[in-house]
């Protein structure tokens, strides 16, 4: 992992307060049992120069003619060591990574509804393996910084970045709470699929807001349930098989939270229900998926008997 391009970018952008996180010393102190294993695997990746980079619906790096058959067969085995691949899809040198999520569908629903990303500096909180970061570059972002504390997803990003070294997208193994606040910097901040995992959703919104420059845009995407303003589902234990869901707001409640945190121009830009064609078990994510989280006799309920998740995308502005 060559951290020097990120260090230069942070320094040139005046984000020196983030420099301590872009150091080998910082990575060394990560206490995650699998971290050394991921690093060993990354170190064994072949060096292949991609003849093309395409950040369309399927994020594609190179093609099958960029290397020999033996190297690419070995690469496919190496990619399988990074299973589960949840967000995507990707194509690496002709190897098709059919991820659990068809993440392009969410992107298609929102990309034309947000302020155009052209020349914007973007923070993607809870970015997973960085799939959306590449899509943000395709939409013209100046650069994208992603944060995710889940080291296995960050390792997937580093794998992609190993081959797409020139792409101005970076991911650090950090949670939002670890950032020095306030940054007052980014033109657009995304938080997609994160807020219901937070024990304090209001603090999450305030932290996102503090990363934005005045006038910048927050794009927040969440699971939601039907309900009036003030209503919020707090699962007793699991929700749709997930044990780390704390608050699932109604749309009206989410809007109220954003308003209460001082954001303005709050706009619902998309509402959807995830189908099992969008999130499903695949060869690259062979474990339980959405179909296993819903009541097989009633898709309006989760297996816990709670209202099945819907999804909403909201934009909001940090006022001057």
Ligand X SMILES: C[S@@+](CC[C@H](N)C(=O)[O-])C[C@H]1O[C@@H](n2cnc3c(N)ncnc32)[C@H](O)[C@@H]1O
Q: Which of 13, 54, 78, 175 binds ligand X (CB under 6 A)?
A: 175
Site membership for ligand X, residue 177 (CB under 6 A): yes
CB-nearer residue toward ligand X: 90 or 153? 153
Residue 48 beta carbon to ligand X: minimum distance, rounded to whole angstroms: 27
Is residue 265 a contact partner of residue 316, using CB atoms and an 8 Å limit? yes
Classify the phi-psi angles of 245: left when phi > 0, otherwise alpha if psi is within -120 to 50, otherwise beta.
beta
- Least CB distance from residue 296 to ligand X, whole Å? 23
From 5-13, 29-37, 38-46, 192-200, give the range in contact with ligand X by CB under 6 A. 192-200
Within 174-226, where are the H helices? 201-211
Closest CA to 168 of 139, 125, 204: 139
Rule CB under 6 A: say whether 248 interacts with ligand X: no
CB of 184 to ligand X, least distance (A): 19
Task: Name the token pair of 39.
Answer: 């690093």
Q: DSSP letter string over 260-309?
A: HTT-EEEEEEEEE---TTTB--BTTB-S--HHHHEETTEEEEETTSSBPP
Among 144, 169, 194, 208, binds ligand X (CB under 6 A): 194
CB of 72 to ligand X, least distance (A): 28
The phi, psi pair for 222, rounded to 5°, reads -150, 160
**Closest among 270, 247, 249, 267 to 259, alpha carbons compared:** 267
Residue recorded with tokens 């969008």? 278
Q: What distance in Å separates the CA atoms of residue 296 and residue 154, rounded to the nearest whole number?
A: 33
- Find, among 279, 269, 268, the residue nearest to 309 by Cα: 279
Q: Which is nearer to ligand X, 194 or 306 (CB)?
A: 194
Measure Cα distances from 185 to 2, 32, 189 in Å: 24, 30, 10
Name the residue nearer to ligand X (CB basis): 147 or 255: 147
Contact between 211 and ligand X by CB under 6 A: the answer reads no
Residue 8 burial class via C-beta count within 10 angstroms: exposed 0-12, middle 13-18, buried 19 and up: exposed
Q: How far is the CB of 311 from ligand X (least distance, A)?
A: 9
User: How many chain residues interact with ligand X (CB under 6 A)?
Assistant: 18
Judging by beta carbons within 10 Å of its beta carbon (0-12, 13-18, 19+), is residue 94 exposed, middle or buried? middle
Cβ closest to ligand X, residue 74 vs residue 242: 242
Which positions from 132 to 151 touch ligand X by CB under 6 A, shown as an x/- string? ---------------xxxx-
Near ligand X by CB under 6 A: residue from 87, 121, 135, 209? 87
- Which single residue brings its beta carbon nearest to ligand X? 126
Q: Does 201 bind ligand X (CB under 6 A)?
A: no
Binder of ligand X out of 79, 136, 137, 176 (CB under 6 A):
176
Binding mask 101-130 for ligand X (x = CB under 6 A): --x---------------------xxxx--
Q: Which residues bind ligand X (CB under 6 A)?
A: 87, 103, 125-128, 147-150, 153, 175-177, 192-194, 197
């Amino acid at each position: 992992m060559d951290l020097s391009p990120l260090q230069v970018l942070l320094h040139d952008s005046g984000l020196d307060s983030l420099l301590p996180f872009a150091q080998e010393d910082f990575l060394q102190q990560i206490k995650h049992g699998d971290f050394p294993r991921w690093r060993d695997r990354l170190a064994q990746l072949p060096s292949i120069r991609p003849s093309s980079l395409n950040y369309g619906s399927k994020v594609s790096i190179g093609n099958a003619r960029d290397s020999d058959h033996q190297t690419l067969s070995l690469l496919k085995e190496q990619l399988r060591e990074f299973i589960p691949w949840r967000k995507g899809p990707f194509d690496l040198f002709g190897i098709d990574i059919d991820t659990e999520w068809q993440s392009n569908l969410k992107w298609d629903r929102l990309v034309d509804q947000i302020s155009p990303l052209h020349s914007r500096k973007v923070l993607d909180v809870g970015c997973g393996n960085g799939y959306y970061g590449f899509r943000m570059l395709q939409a013209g972002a100046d650069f994208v910084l992603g944060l995710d504390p889940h080291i296995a997803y960050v390792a997937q990003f580093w794998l992609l970045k190993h081959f797409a070294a020139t792409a101005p997208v970076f991911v650090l193994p950090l949670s939002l709470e670890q950032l020095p606040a306030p940054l007052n910097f980014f033109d657009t901040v995304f938080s997609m699929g994160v807020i219901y995992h937070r024990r304090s959703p209001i603090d999450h919104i305030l932290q996102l807001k503090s990363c934005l420059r005045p006038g910048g845009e927050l794009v927040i995407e969440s699971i939601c349930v039907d309900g009036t303003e003030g209503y919020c589902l707090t699962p007793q234990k699991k929700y749709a098989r997930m044990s780390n869901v704390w608050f699932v707001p109604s749309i009206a409640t989410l809007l109220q939270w954003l308003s209460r945190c001082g954001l303005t121009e709050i706009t619902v830009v998309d509402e959807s229900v995830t189908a099992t064609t969008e999130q499903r078990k695949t060869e690259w994510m062979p474990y339980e998926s959405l179909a296993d989280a819903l009541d097989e006799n009633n898709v309006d309920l989760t297996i816990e008997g709670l209202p099945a998740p819907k999804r909403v995308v909201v934009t909001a502005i940090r006022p001057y």
